[in-house]
Amino acid sequence: MRLLRSHPLLFAVAILGVLAVGAVALSAFKVWNEAHHDDASLVDRADVIVVLGAAQYDGTPSPIFEGRLDHAILLFEQDRADVVFVLGANQPGDRTTEAEAGRDYLVARGIPTTSVVALPVGHTSFTSLRAASRAMRERGLSNAFLVSDPWHNARIERMAADLGIEGYTSATWTSGARTEESRLSGYVRETFAYLHYLVTGG
């Protein structure tokens, strides 16, 4: 400690290091805590169910996306909302979008066409949620169940709040990320993604 105090630069670097470790630890706790909380256990209904997009292959949802869509079907069948928004644009070379692939998946499994809205906008969670926010305002809607993977909860709930959406996270645990390794990867990735969003706001 004396060495650090006698060298101001080393002391400053040490303080910054402690602050950085603390910020990462707090972010990790927030991500973990929100992942293990389902707002659907406390909230009966919302104006809309919003499904965050994930990869699709020529119109077929990836296992991760399929897990999210199946959870949206469960919420809809429980009469948690009257409409489902599916988010996500396409990647270069794709013939369809995540939103359209998700809509088709839901309709094929019995959700009425009139109850599903595809919003093929956005290549990031924030831009997709911004499109959802605009669509909700146009329809006079204010709150939503947000459906994604559990480790995504903290970040999308914060984004939704920043965009004027009263968001209730209800994640799926039946997506393609089922192994301990894939789930740990999700938590680690989202710890830094959540922290990055808090710092940059985008």
pLDDT one digit per residue (tens) for the chain, 202 residues: 554 456 666 556 656 776 777 788 888 999 999 999 999 999 999 999 999 999 999 999 999 999 999 999 999 999 999 999 999 998 877 889 999 999 999 999 999 999 999 999 999 999 999 999 999 999 999 999 999 999 999 999 999 999 999 999 999 987 666 667 777 888 899 999 999 999 887 6
Which residue stretches of the chain are H helix? 2-6, 8-35, 63-77, 98-108, 125-138, 153-162, 180-200
CA distance 4 to 200: 31
CB–CB of 186/177 below 8 Å? yes
- Fold entry, domain 35-200: Rossmann fold (3.40.50)
The model's pTM is 0.88
Q: Three-class SS of residue 163?
A: coil
